[in-house]
Structure 1
Amino acid sequence: MHAAINEIGKDVHTVRACVFDYELLITRDIDNIKAIFNTQSADFDIGPHREKTFKSAFGLGVMTARGEAWQHSRRLIRPQFTRDNTANLPMFEKHVQSLFKKLRPTQDLWTSKVDLQPLFSYCTLDISTEFLVSGQYILPGTPSDFHKYGQSVWSQDVDARSRLPLSRDPEAPDVANFGAHLDEVKHILDRQGALAKYSWLVNSDGYSEHCKGLRSFVDYFVRKALEQTNEEKRSSDMQDKYVLLDELAKHSRNPAELRNETLNVLHASRDTTAALMGWIVYFLARHEDVFQTLRAEILNTFTSNGTPIEITFKGIHSMTFMPQVINETIRMVGIVPMNERAALQDTTLPRGGGPDGLSPVFVPKGRQILIPTYSMQHREDIWGPDVDLFKPSRWTGRRADWDFIPFGSGARQCLGQQFARTQVMYVIIRLLQTFDAIENVEAPGPMRFHHTIENRSGNGVQVRLHAALPTTFHALRQGVSAEE
């Protein structure tokens, strides 16, 4: 879409388009974006076609509902993403350790060639699952033994929340199957979304089975939540922590409703975060200067007298170059390349009408509006002639405005924004503490995208990593804290 709009004109930012006889509006105009999400937000909501297609996969929940149903869902889910919950760094650490088990260096301290993208997807799914259900229901597997050069690195001073038993439950669903089902479902949803009201033209013989697989995965956790007695809840180590399923179960004993709300959050938690982690490593492997600058900041922030120190929430968010790397990565690839809204009543947008496109444009009730965030983030008049270059320094002294809304904005802004950023920063911090070089082993060629609802690398993230010297490599396992 970016190339198509630019072909009309690089100074053209609002156009009409048709899918057969269905007319819609496409805008990357900053004034229009501000109107849709802020000054005229009462005139817009997600469109009925998005509601219909997404609901077929994830059910009615915070990502798919509109109006009062959406307000109800948001009120229930918002407490899950408070600072206290998103700062659970020991939980992140446990899953980072599982990731590191798959990144064992050989005697020359280099790992074998590895595609980090699926590993990041498993990592973020495990984190999201524990975060949403308090880690009390365990996926198939056995206790993990973490080692550094043959010695145990499992520390007894880690918060008790990260030492929850990892016993095998024979009834637990397979996380790999869930990921495969989710990939297929999102691929179909992306194609359906492109056809708007004609989404029914895109179908798959296996689509309903993939949706059934998603529901089955979450149904396991819902069943456990409903089976848990009040006495068990009172004796739980996690009784003082807001848990999405537990909170929802206070208001509904309907398994379908509990499943839908959980699935709405879970699918979003896995993919955007994993894609962002993958793209960051993708660019670090191709930009040695950025890698070294970022690693230096990490070591300076979390090292004292040559010894790694505790990672804290405050320390993570005190970094300055890390947010620049994250923002530039998001800008370059458009993790969620498209947003949309529909007019709830006859209204106007500030620009797009008249011969020069600078006058207000009429938007009739029901008109769907596509917001190509990727294209907006690649406007030369905003970002400069080097817009297609990965350049974190462009964010020095720059504050994100209406030209950069990767997590949406306004009333429907992503509730998990801070959780996602903290998770990404933590994983990248631990990765660069542990490895002092990243080698790109992908064949030469242009950047390729794998399009579903999110953008991830079309070739994966194929790299080798070099373990830091043993004195630094002891960062493979260090104490972490959620305290300031």
Structure 2
Amino acid sequence: MGLTQAQRLVLGQLARLVAPALAVCVLLAAARRTQLVRAPVWADALIALIAIPLFHVGRAHWRVDVLQLVDEAYRRGFLSDYFYEKFGELGHTYNFYVLWDMDYCTEDAAVIKAVLATDFNNWVKGERFDSYMHSVLGTGVFNADGELWKFHRSMTRPFFARERITDFETFNRHAEEAILKMKERLREGFAVDFADLISRFTLDAATEFLFGACTTSPRRSARRRTQSRIARASRTDTPMRTVDRYLTPIIERALAMSRAAKQAPQGEKEEVADGETLLDHLARYTTDPTILHDEILNIMIAGRDTTGGTLTFVIYFLTQHPDVLQRLRQEILDVVGPSNLPTYDDIKQMKYLRAVLNETQRLYPPVPWNMRYAVEDSIVPNSEPEGKPWFIPAGASVSYSVHCMHRRKDYWGPDAEEFDPDRFLDERLHKYLTPNPFIFLPFNAGPRICLGQQFAYNEMSFFLVKLLQTFEDISFERDAFEPNALPPAEWAKFPGRKGKEKFWPRAHLTLYSEVRMTAGGMWVKMREAQAMGQVA
């Protein structure tokens, strides 16, 4: 009769506990045979017993040191600093311990493909991830596993299954308002924090899309505080109460409307009706207010933060590459014109616009790090030359870095650290990405691939078209930043993006540009087009 999993776990822990004593006993016995040790036998037992706490205290101290290094890299370093260095030192996958938790860090597309796709059922977000994120994400789709995840996915999928003209109407209304406010500020001679402005645009658009009630951006600070506190393992109770006070009455109204609709005579019903919000749609599946709250909050964070962050980084790159700006603007004028509203067909036609968005997300993917836990013992591939497959024990985690993977020179070429949208258009596309699509994962992959991917591309594309129809030049305004919101001067000596970036990329759940009390984000100035239809 074999041992149970619990018994095996206990025996394994006991073996790890006494291993230092056994090792000392073996060494002392060998020393006695060579007559190097002549102390009494009871002294050997005492030394062996003392070795147990000494070893484990020292081991814990080393692991705390590692944890401190990781924390220091998060607070003061460039994005992924510590882990990026270890990939260079140890290889594209390595085993990593923080206190008593075993983790495998990887930037190997083969490992990531196995975890996200080919062995999907064996990898979950897990209880530990849920414990970190539950106060914000709750039981929503990004925190759920198994049948609960399938339920959330099945509820939400139909709403993203088709393009809706009302989406563009929403984008246009809020884009017009944002650009008007930019014009007013810029005409007064002031710089604009584009990160702040675009986060308000994406929050307003997302909330109207999700539940038909635009926030007009009053809850931005509470949401950002909440996510920053998650990243620092801090309390989220107070900012979440602010979020909940806003969401609760909206959910209650949606449930009341759903109950009334069910009592009315039923005709032939579309899977997703015209004008229906996501909350309206979800309320047809469940009357549980907790499920509705968690699901719309999950999708709001995903749709709002990732889109806002990516557009912030696009604007930054356009300030650093005026040739890209002018080429992109010319494509917009050629396809859409100086004042027309873009259509779905227009956006599909603008290949350079998509390339700019893709290249931005390659260098700064919206979710730079993610993780999964193994349900059962697993074997994952190893693409290192002559590398053996990795054994991952049940319960261990794999942290995968899309950010680091997107900068690998063997995946993207010797210019992998450079911003060059043409890599998504020229022969490099067929040389690198086409044969190995898992090297580019801005929207995740496998069964949990982002349902809102096309929605995000449409929203980002629409806003950029409107913006570049209005403005013909964008400049980075370094003097508008607070000094401590900019990269430290010593970063300039480092290779790659760390040595050249003029802003400080940071991450909580998603990527953003460093923000301080009164200045941060992405401060820019823009020059309005002098004559519509002409490129300066």
TM over 0.5: yes
Q: CA deviation at 1:452?
A: 1.2
Alignment of 1:129 onto 2:160: no
- 1:68 aligns with one of 118, 139, 147: 147
After superposition, the C-alpha distances for 1:442-471 in whole angstroms (9 at most, x for unaligned) are 248643112211111224111111111254
Alignment of 1:467 onto 2:528: yes
Name the aligned partner's letter for residue 326 of structure 2.
Q
After superposition, the C-alpha distances for 1:97-142 in whole angstroms (9 at most, x for unaligned) are 1101211258x96863100111111110111111112x3x3546xx
After superposition, the C-alpha distances for 1:274-327 in whole angstroms (9 at most, x for unaligned) are 001111001101110010010011101112xxx644421011111111111111
Q: Distance in 2 between matches of 1:366 and 1:7?
A: 23
Name the aligned partner's letter for residue 395 of structure 1.
F
Structure 2 SS opposite 1:55: helix
Alignment of 1:279 onto 2:313: yes
Q: CA deviation at 1:42?
A: 2.1
Corresponding position of 1:479: none
**Correspondences of 1:254-333 after superposition (within 5 Å):** 254-303=288-337, 308-333=339-364
Residues 391, 3 of structure 1: alpha-carbon distance in 2 compared, 3 angstrom cutoff:
farther
Bigger RCO (CA 8 Å, 6+ sep): 1
Corresponding position of 1:27: 106
Corresponding position of 2:440: 404
Residues 377, 349 of structure 1: alpha-carbon distance in 2 compared, 3 angstrom cutoff:
same
Name the aligned partner's letter for residue 438 of structure 1.
I
Indicate conservation of the 8 Å contact 1:87/1:313, yes or no.
no
**Correspondences of 1:2-13 after superposition (within 5 Å):** 2-7=81-86, 9=88, 12-13=91-92
After superposition, the C-alpha distances for 1:225-252 in whole angstroms (9 at most, x for unaligned) are 1233439999xxx953443222222232
Q: CA deviation at 1:83?
A: 2.4
Alignment of 1:416 onto 2:452: yes
Corresponding position of 1:350: 381
Corresponding position of 1:364: 393
Q: Distance in 2 between matches of 1:97 and 1:260?
A: 30
Structure 2 SS opposite 1:329: helix
**Structure 2: 5+ residue stretches without partners:** 1-79, 267-271, 480-485, 488-500, 515-519
Name the aligned partner's letter for residue 521 of structure 2.
G
Name the aligned partner's letter for residue 109 of structure 2.
I
- 2:474 aligns with one of 438, 441, 446: 438
Alignment of 1:453 onto 2:453: no
Structure 1 SS opposite 2:177: helix
Name the aligned partner's letter for residue 25 of structure 1.
Y
Q: CA deviation at 1:8?
A: 5.4
Q: Distance in 1 between matches of 2:169 and 2:280?
A: 22
Structure 1 SS opposite 2:105: strand
Q: Distance in 1 between matches of 2:282 and 2:118?
A: 32
Q: CA deviation at 1:10?
A: 6.3
After superposition, the C-alpha distances for 1:322-378 in whole angstroms (9 at most, x for unaligned) are 11111111111232110111111111101179xx77111111111111001111011
Residues 283, 233 of structure 1: alpha-carbon distance in 2 compared, 3 angstrom cutoff:
farther
Corresponding position of 1:209: 238
Paired residue total: 415
Higher CA-based Rg: 2
Structure 1 SS opposite 2:391: strand
Corresponding position of 2:133: 54
Structure 1 SS opposite 2:349: coil
Corresponding position of 1:99: 178
Q: Distance in 1 between matches of 2:425 and 2:198?
A: 28
Structure 2 SS opposite 1:405: coil
Indicate conservation of the 8 Å contact 1:441/1:462, yes or no.
yes
Q: CA deviation at 1:19?
A: 0.8
Structure 1 SS opposite 2:156: helix
Q: CA deviation at 1:189?
A: 1.7
Q: Distance in 1 between matches of 2:246 and 2:127?
A: 27
Q: Distance in 2 between matches of 1:270 and 1:8?
A: 31
- 1:429 aligns with one of 454, 458, 465: 465
Residues 7, 253 of structure 1: alpha-carbon distance in 2 compared, 3 angstrom cutoff:
closer
Name the aligned partner's letter for residue 451 of structure 1.
A
Which structure features the higher share of helix residues?
A: 2
- 1:373 aligns with one of 394, 399, 402: 402
RMSD: 2.6
Indicate conservation of the 8 Å contact 1:15/1:352, yes or no.
no
Corresponding position of 1:247: 281
What is the TM-score when the length of structure 1 is the normalising length? Answer: 0.80
Structure 1 SS opposite 2:439: coil
Q: Distance in 2 between matches of 1:58 and 1:86?
A: 30
Structure 1 SS opposite 2:366: coil
After TM superposition, the structure 1 stretch with the greater mean CA deviation from structure 2, 311-320 or 383-392, is: 383-392
Residues 441, 188 of structure 1: alpha-carbon distance in 2 compared, 3 angstrom cutoff:
same
Q: Distance in 2 between matches of 1:394 and 1:111?
A: 37
Structure 2 SS opposite 1:370: strand
Structure 2 SS opposite 1:351: coil
Structure 2 SS opposite 1:291: helix
Q: CA deviation at 1:472?
A: 4.5
Q: Distance in 1 between matches of 2:531 and 2:281?
A: 45
Q: Distance in 1 between matches of 2:381 and 2:388?
A: 7
Corresponding position of 1:90: 169
Q: CA deviation at 1:440?
A: 1.3
- 1:117 aligns with one of 177, 195, 198: 195
Name the aligned partner's letter for residue 404 of structure 1.
F
Name the aligned partner's letter for residue 270 of structure 1.
R
Residues 370, 62 of structure 1: alpha-carbon distance in 2 compared, 3 angstrom cutoff:
same
Aligned-residue identity in percent: 29
Corresponding position of 1:182: 223
Q: Distance in 2 between matches of 1:324 and 1:57?
A: 33
Name the aligned partner's letter for residue 388 of structure 2.
S
Indicate conservation of the 8 Å contact 2:333/2:533, yes or no.
no
After TM superposition, the structure 1 stretch with the greater mean CA deviation from structure 2, 380-389 or 4-13, is: 4-13
Q: CA deviation at 1:96?
A: 0.4
